[in-house]
Copies of this chain bind each other. A is one copy, B any other.
């Protein structure tokens, strides 16, 4: 059996491992937290720091194929391992671009990919030269994750919120919709993509609130979005699974927002709603099997279950039984003992033939369940 290592042991690792149990594969996880969601579902769990060169090198040398469930990993070690003949998927060259939002934007420009106009800023002072770009989004080049490292600068008086480190100042697009397309590329370069999903964000937490698949977009926008996603992922020239987040503006134009070179929150619905889930697809790529079928079985809504405000401590899932009584709901609890405000604790997928019913049920589910801390 092939030995496959994953850097990171969060919920994405957990769901990858649930899916791995369908394949002949021996699994390894590297993660610093022994209570992480993926710790008890792998053949070999190793405590270590995914940002440490030594830890990643030692971990990677035991396996045949190495992948990630989070981008913030030690890149030098991955490059070294790739040179030593370990298959690293996605290629470290992709991570080098993705890990830095400045390089990411420059990559889009170099490849003719439509993305919001931007400038690179090295410090806060420089921002005063680019007031014409406002309202804009300031994104830290390195280190942002899940809404951290991003601020909105609406006018000059917001400039004190800006980052002092190298960042991207990106003109705010007049967003009509946010969508995402997941693209899979096998080791021969064969490429397939999932139907677009439409994301509705919680503006307070800057986290996905719920999403729908198929997205409520015209065929023309669907085709453009898929073509754009394929184009940008093709430009990376690496096998792997890529979540391409895009904006649709008020004129119906599609713009690349960001790319994650891994399984992604925007693909969780594929577990039940599509033939091959994003997690299944990754194992096919890593093990050299044919790509799976990304087609939809039924339309779906996916709702993130995040820790409630002002609740920190041992997690209690209030309303869980009521959700489980819904005939078309699928619940995924990530096994994290401790909840914190905004922490991703699980998700719920709903299947229904009717998109309007899905929207209503998604709104209902959000009000029915809350992750609190036990007193």
Tell me if A275 is interfacial: C-beta within 8 Å of chain B. yes
Among listed A50-58, A114-122, A160-168, A327-335, interface-contacting one: A327-335
In the assembled complex, how far is the CB of residue A166 from the closest CB belonging to chain B, in whole angstroms?
40
CB distance from A275 to the nearest CB of B (A): 6
Task: Tell me the complex Cα distance, A315–B17, Å.
Answer: 21
Please report the total number of A residues contacting B with Cβ < 8 Å. 38
A273-291 interface code vs B (CB 8 A; 1 in, 0 out)? 0010000000010000110
The complex places the Cα of A321 from the Cα of B298 at a distance, in Å, of: 26
Q: Mark A25-47, 1 if CB is under 8 A from B, else 0.
A: 00100000000000011110000
* Residues in B whose Cβ lies below 8 Å from that of A337: 1
Indicate if the CB atoms of B24 and A41 lie closer than 8 Å.
no
Q: Are B327 and A275 in contact (CB under 8 A)?
A: yes
**A297 at interface by CB-CB < 8 Å:** yes
Inter-subunit contact A324/B290 (CB<8 Å)? yes
Distance (Å) between the CB of A42 and the closest chain B CB? 7
A201 CB–B CB distance under 8 Å: no
Q: How far is the CA of A317 from the CA of B24 in the complex (A)?
A: 9
B21→A14 contact, CB < 8 A:
yes
The quantity of this chain's copies bound in the complex is 2
Q: Which residues of A from 258 to 296 have beta carbons under 8 Å from B?
A: 275, 284, 289-290, 292-293, 295
In the assembled complex, the CB of A284 is this many whole angstroms from the nearest CB of chain B, namely 6
Q: Which residues of B contact A325 (CB under 8 A)?
A: 290
Q: How far is the CB of A19 from chain B (nearest CB, A)?
A: 8
Answer yes or no: A145 CB below 8 A from chain B CBs: no
A18 at the interface (CB under 8 A from B): yes
Q: Are B332 and A22 in contact (CB under 8 A)?
A: yes
User: Which residues does chain B contribute within 8 Å of A328, judged by CB atoms?
Assistant: 275, 293
Q: Contact between B21 and A335 (Cβ–Cβ < 8 Å)?
A: yes
Minimum CB–CB distance from A293 to chain B (whole Å) comes to 4
Cβ of A208 < 8 Å from any Cβ of B?
no
**With A and B bound together, what is the CA distance between A295 and B351 in angstroms?**
13
Cα separation A327 to B289 with both chains bound (whole Å): 13
List the B side residues contacting A42 at CB < 8 Å.
40
Q: What 0/1 pattern do residues 197 to 222 of A give for CB contact below 8 A with B? A: 00000000000000000000000000
Can you name 20 A-B pairs with beta carbons within 8 Å?
A: A17-B41, A21-B41, A21-B335, A22-B331, A22-B332, A22-B333, A23-B331, A24-B315, A24-B317, A24-B333, A41-B41, A275-B327, A275-B330, A284-B324, A289-B324, A290-B324, A292-B324, A293-B327, A295-B327, A297-B298
